[in-house]
Amino acid sequence: MYFHIPFCRKRCHYCDFYKTTQVRFLPRYLAMVAGELALQKDYLEGESLETLYFGGGTPGLLAAGEVSALLDRVNALFCVVSGAEVTLEANPDDLISGKPAAWRAAGVNRLSLGIQSFDDGHLRAMNRRHTALQALEAVHTAVNEGFTDISIDLIFGLPGLSLSQWENTLDTALSLPVSHISAYHLTYHEGTPFFTWLRRGMLREATEEESLEQFSMLMAKTAKAGFEHYEISNFARSGAYSRHNRGYWSGEKYLGLGPSAHSYNGHSRQWNVSSLQKYLQALEIGKVPFEAEELTATDRLNDYLITRLRTRWGISTGALRAEFGEAATAAVLASARPFLDEGTLTENEGALCLSPAGIMVSDRIMAALMSV
């Protein structure tokens, strides 16, 4: 289950997720999310919840009582397994003393901190609210208040990011008591300030060579520090995978709550309206404002290939055959042959997996394997 908390105190220059700075609507919004939970209680067809995720936006704005109230509502309407992973995203400046402990008491057992960089200049350029020092302090505050499962987000491929600056960010991250790192290449999304400035020639986009150097350094340093590269953008220490994201990558059903949130029940996808006001207006009259599409066999096959290939476990040819039949499996294997020959794909214990070189060109491989 995913809760989208779309409120931000300020807008980051790179982010295209649906969000609003109208934080005054938060109490009304949470009441409507509670209503959506009741309206969607049958969507997962009785399956138990193994993970809950508060994403954003800025879920770190939530008080412990607000988190607790939502979790109580979930437990009243759904079956939640014992030991379910409950993740809350937060910005470093959200972690004032006492707040992480209160979140833990409310039921949160995993934190995902949006650090992005340990370089103050790049943090200012991204319009982040925190400093590098605040990021360091946030991690230690979370640990001191009882969190043992902490993930941090980083961004590379930033305009003007030198290899030495990226190395400093990585070295700092790897020195911290965190169990998980998500590292993403900057994408210039239309409608963001970064996109506008790039189009106007005010920013210089990282070259392909710079991006590959930064990604190669990321893979080398995380491996040396004992992190497992278990998905293209994700690294875990001692098996501390994101159970929530692994659910997405393994095709589990999921329910998303809030504006712009997506849901999947095995045979169709749906997504809520990307407007806070339209969302609130609809829920106030007992309606969930969403669009939906039924998935064709080709849609399901393509989703299967893309999600599985992103992970270290790859595409099990046996599972592929059982799910989609011999003809589809033969077609995938035929499309995979050139990549196996060049070494960007490997075949390990009956699974097609990206090699380290293949991770660098994963988009090209995925496009080739997909059915039209």
Q: What are the boundaries of each domain within the chain?
A: 2-249, 297-369
The contacts of residue 13 (CB under 8 Å, 6+ apart) are: 125, 126, 127, 192, 193, 194
Mean pLDDT of 3-23: 91
Considering the chain, what is the average pLDDT of its residues? Answer: 97
pLDDT at 372 over 80: no
DSSP 41: T
Q: Is 351 helix (H, G, I), strand (E, B) or coil?
A: strand
Q: Work out the pLDDT band at 79, boundaries 50, 70, 90.
A: very high
Architecture of domain 297-369: Orthogonal Bundle (1.10)
Cβ contact 253:259 at 8 Å: no
Do the bridges between strand 110-116 and strand 290-294 make them parallel or antiparallel, or are there none, so unpaired? unpaired
Residues contacting 46, CB < 8 A, separation 6+? 79
The listed CATH number (3.40.640.10, 3.30.1380.10, 3.20.20.70, 3.30.450.40) that belongs to domain 2-249: 3.20.20.70
- Binned at pLDDT 50, 70 and 90, residue 18 comes out as confident
Name the β-bridge partners of 263: 270
The answer to whether the pTM exceeds 0.75 is yes
Percent of the chain with pLDDT over 90: 96
Tens-place pLDDT, residues 264-306? 999 999 999 999 999 999 999 999 999 999 999 999 999 999 9
Q: Is the pLDDT of residue 53 over 90?
A: yes
Instruction: State residue 11's pLDDT score.
Output: 87
- Write the pLDDT tens digit of every residue in 170-205: 999 999 999 999 999 999 999 999 999 999 999 999
Average pLDDT over residues 80-86: 98
In Å, how far from its chain's centre is CA 143? 22
pLDDT digits (tens, 9 = 90+) for 241-264: 999 999 999 999 999 999 999 999
CA distance 170 to 41: 42
Looking at residue 291, its pLDDT comes to: 98
> How many Å apart are CA 48 and CA 34, to the nearest integer?
18
Average pLDDT over residues 119-141: 97
Of the given ranges (7-21, 32-46, 142-156), which has the lowest mean pLDDT? 7-21
CA distance 43 to 146: 34
The string of pLDDT tens digits covering residues 213-243 is 999 999 999 999 999 999 999 999 998 999 9
| Per-residue tokens: 359 | 């991770």
Closest CA to 216 of 242, 189, 185: 185
